[in-house]
Amino acid sequence: MAKISAIFWDVGGVLLTNAWDRSEREQAISTFNLDPMEFQDRHEMVVSSFERGKITLDEYLVRTVFYRPRPFPREDFKAYMFSRSQSDPEALALARTLAASGKYLMGTINNESTELNLYRIECFQLREIFDVFVSSCFVGFRKPERDIYRLALEVTQQKPEECCFIDDRDLNLESAQALGMKTIHMENPAQLRAELQKLEV
């Protein structure tokens, strides 16, 4: 078995809560009394552009929420979106330990909009852990598209068989596996630690 030299991590659902996934949107719909179907329809029309960095957070909100007057200001809604981000302390601690060992190139491969991604990198001090951020908003590709994984390998000049990719969704692992990367379906930190040990990490 090839020795692992690089570990790529999903962020939402692995190290942190999701930034703006279905559950976070559903909570916002309830909190701000939005029409669920109307919001979801508008979200689906622009989410690809939003997560690829093609439109800003403000543009996204104009198209999904503030296309008509609301009884709450845009800044309140934005603050609510940012507040949904929480860490998984045990998973973050594991990532920090691996980064501190100096044995592995550490990177992310994640789907996030620009403003939320930058906020989470800063708030949770992810620059101290990761060497490279292959985020959809920076590179213009989204998981599970093959090109985002290919780009991560090309930018870092890593051999796929020496890389491990961690994600909480099986669909996002398939393209990585097809390229020859080792993969782990994250369920909880203890299980993740055990799976990494099987790869001699």
Structure tokens at 194: 């055990």
Going by C-alpha positions, the residue among 129, 125, 127, 121 that lies closest to residue 102 is 129
Model confidence pTM above 0.85: yes
pLDDT for res 186: 97
Domain ranges of the chain: 6-18+86-198, 22-83
Fold of 6-18+86-198: Rossmann fold (3.40.50)
Domains 6-18+86-198 and 22-83 share a fold: no
pLDDT in the model for residue 1: 79
- Residue pLDDT tens, the chain, 201 long: 789 999 999 999 999 999 999 999 999 999 999 999 999 999 999 999 999 999 999 999 999 999 999 999 999 999 999 999 999 999 999 999 999 999 999 999 999 999 999 999 999 999 999 999 999 999 999 999 999 999 999 999 999 999 999 999 999 999 999 999 999 999 999 999 999 999 999
Rounded to an integer, what distance in angstroms lies between the CA atom of residue 120 and that of residue 177? 27
> Under DSSP, is residue 108 helix (H, G, I), strand (E, B) or coil?
strand
The CA distance from 149 to 4, in Å, is 16
Cα Rg for the chain, rounded, in angstroms?
18
CATH 1.10.760.10 for domain 22-83 = no
> In 3-state terms, what secondary structure has residue 106?
strand
